[in-house]
Amino acid sequence: MKPTVREYTNDEKLMEDVKRLKDEGIDNKDIYILSHDDDRTDRIAKNVNANTIGLSEQDVKNVISNLFNKQGDELRTKLQEIGFSEQEAEEYEEDLDEGKVLLIVTNPSKAEALL
């Protein structure tokens, strides 16, 4: 099943929604934060005890190639690894270029009604 995603420009609203998801029973392991700025991604994820798309979610080959890729290529690869098509990854990466932050829920059965 494809992940559920919601875009944010307001970090506080994103953090409120993560709290609401957790209150409704969505497990931490299914909640991911992604932005174009690694520091912003890490800060938000740490504040709400959510995940970032890291080594455990990616194929080793992609992790190694990401070391040499540009930021946009790396983000598209991460999005594809977590369950989005190449075209969807390109579209979401464009949104990240605009400064948006993505809240991704990999167990969308409960999340669709909440987001």
Note the pLDDT tens digit of each residue in 27-83: 989 999 999 998 999 999 999 999 887 544 444 444 444 444 466 778 888 899 889
pLDDT at residue 57, as a whole number: 47
* pTM attached to this predicted model: 0.82
| Residue 108 pLDDT class (50, 70, 90 cuts) | low
For residue 65, count other CB atoms closer than 10 A to its CB.
14
Q: Is the pLDDT of residue 7 over 50?
A: yes
Q: Which residues of 5-21 are buried (b: 16+ CB within 10 A; e: fewer)?
A: bbebeebeebbebbeeb
Q: Tell me, what's the pLDDT at 38?
A: 87
